[in-house]
C-alpha cells in the first residue's frame, strides 16, 4: 500500500512540474519587456529549467528509494516464509525417516491405524495459534523428542545418543506445530515410502482389548489385570453391567456412539471424541462387552 502511494507520488510529481512549466510558458511576456520582469525561477529560460529538472530528478530518486524501503518488510516476510517452508520440508524428511513407523503417514498415530503405538501429532491443539499454547507445545515436543517418554517413545536427541541435533528437532517442531502434513504426504508419494499397513481385524475382542488397555484409552482408564492404569476416567471393570457414564444404556451401538462422541451424550465431559473407523469402534465395544 505504502509502496503504491509513493510510486504514484513519484509519477505525479513530474506531471505537476511539467504542467507548471507549461503554465508559466503561456504567460505572455511582451517581447520588449526587460529581463527583470520575467520570474527568474519559473521562467522557461535555459538555466532555471535545468535547476528545476535537477530538483525533479533528485526528488524522484528520493521517492524511488523510499518506495524500495517501504517494500522491504514485504520482501522480508516472503523470505521468512520461504525459510519456514524449507525448514518444515527438512522436518518432514526427518519425520518420514524416524517417526512415521509409530506416528503414521497422517501423523494421527493410533487414530489413523490402531496398530500404531504413537500418539496423534496431527491435532488442532498442537497446531494452536494461541501464543501461550504454542509456546507450551514447542517446549513439550522438543523435550519429548529429545528425551523420549514412557516405554515406547524413544529418545532422539544427540544428548541422549540419538541421531537428531537441535536444528533437526527444531525443524520437526515447525512441521508439527505448523501442521504441514501435506509435506510428509509429498515425500511419501515422491519417494514411494512404505506406509505401515493395518493389521486386519480377525479377532475384534483381542483388537479391542489392545486399543483399550495398551493404546488410546489406557492413559485415562484402568481395567483390572491389564496394563491400563489411568485414573482420569472411571475404571472400566463391569462397564457392561451399568449405564455408560450414567447417560446411555449399555448396548454395543451405544458404546460406539459414546466413544465416537462423548460430549454429544454428556455435554461438558472431558473424555475426548475418537474419530475411529467403524470396525475399530466395533472392536472396542466387543471388548467392553466382556467386562461384566
Q: From the centroid of its chain, how far is CA 257?
A: 30
Give min distance, CB of 97 to ligand HEC, in A: 8
- The residues, any chain, with a CB within 8 Å of residue 277's CB and separated by 6 or more, are none
Give min distance, CB of 96 to ligand HEC, in A: 10
Q: Which is nearer to ligand HEC, 63 or 236 (CB)?
A: 236
Q: Which is nearer to ligand HEC, 119 or 180 (CB)?
A: 119
Contact 103, 89 (CB under 8 A): no
Q: Which is nearer to ligand HEC, 152 or 158 (CB)?
A: 152
Cell 447417560 found at: 247
> What Cα–Cα distance (Å) separates residue 197 from each residue in 96, 101, 104, 193, 282?
15, 10, 10, 12, 20
Residue ranges in contact with ligand HEC by CB under 6 A:
98-99, 101-103, 117-119, 121, 141, 144-145, 149-150, 152-154, 156, 172, 212, 216-217, 219-221, 232-234, 236, 239, 244-245, 258-259, 266, 269-272, 274, 284, 288
Q: Which is nearer to ligand HEC, 76 or 97 (CB)?
A: 97
Q: Which is nearer to ligand HEC, 70 or 153 (CB)?
A: 153
Give min distance, CB of 161 to ligand HEC, in A: 14
Give min distance, CB of 276 to ligand HEC, in A: 7
Q: How far apart are CA 89 and CA 120, in angstroms?
A: 20
Burial 230-249 (b: 16+ CB within 10 A, else e): eeebeebeebbeeebeeebe
Give min distance, CB of 76 to ligand HEC, in A: 30
Residue 68: how many CB atoms within 10 A of its CB? 12
Q: How far apart are CA 291 and CA 237, in angstroms?
A: 6
Q: Which is nearer to ligand HEC, 183 or 244 (CB)?
A: 244
Nearest to 121 by CA among 49, 178, 60: 178
Give min distance, CB of 65 to ligand HEC, in A: 47
Amino acid at each position: 500500500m505504502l509502496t503504491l502511494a509513493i510510486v504514484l507520488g513519484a509519477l505525479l510529481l513530474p506531471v505537476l512540474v511539467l504542467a507548471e512549466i507549461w503554465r508559466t510558458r503561456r504567460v505572455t511576456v511582451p517581447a520588449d519587456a526587460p529581463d527583470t520582469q520575467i520570474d527568474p525561477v519559473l521562467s522557461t529560460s535555459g538555466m532555471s529549467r535545468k535547476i528545476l529538472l535537477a530538483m525533479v530528478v533528485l526528488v524522484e530518486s528520493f521517492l524511488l528509494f523510499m518506495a524500495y524501503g517501504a517494500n522491504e518488510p514485504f520482501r522480508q516476510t516472503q523470505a521468512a516464509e520461504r525459510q519456514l517452508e524449507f525448514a518444515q520440508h527438512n522436518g518432514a524428511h526427518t519425520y518420514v525417516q524416524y517417526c512415521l513407523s509409530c506416528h503414521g503417514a497422517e501423523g494421527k498415530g493410533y487414530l489413523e491405524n490402531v496398530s500404531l503405538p504413537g500418539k496423534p501429532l496431527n491435532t488442532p491443539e498442537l497446531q494452536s495459534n494461541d501464543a501461550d499454547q504454542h509456546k507450551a507445545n514447542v517446549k513439550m515436543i522438543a523435550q519429548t523428542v529429545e528425551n523420549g517418554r514412557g516405554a515406547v517413545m524413544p529418545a532422539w536427541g544427540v544428548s541422549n545418543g540419538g541421531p537428531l541435533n537441535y536444528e533437526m528437532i527444531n525443524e520437526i517442531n515447525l512441521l508439527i506445530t505448523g501442521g504441514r502434513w501435506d509435506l510428509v504426504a509429498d515425500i511419501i508419494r515422491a519417494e514411494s515410502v512404505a506406509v505401515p499397513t493395518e493389521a486386519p481385524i480377525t479377532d475384534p475382542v483381542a483388537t479391542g482389548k489392545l486399543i483399550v488397555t495398551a493404546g488410546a484409552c489406557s492413559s485415562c482408564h484402568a481395567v483390572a489385570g491389564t496394563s491400563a492404569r489411568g485414573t482420569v476416567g472411571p475404571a472400566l471393570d463391569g462397564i457392561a453391567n451399568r449405564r455408560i457414564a450414567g447417560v446411555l444404556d449399555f448396548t454395543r451401538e451405544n458404546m460406539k456412539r459414546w466413544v465416537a462422541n462423548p460430549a454429544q451424550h454428556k455435554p461438558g465431559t472431558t473424555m475426548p471424541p475418537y474419530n475411529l473407523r467403524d470396525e475399530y469402534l466395533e472392536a472396542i465395544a466387543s471388548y467392553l462387552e466382556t467386562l461384566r
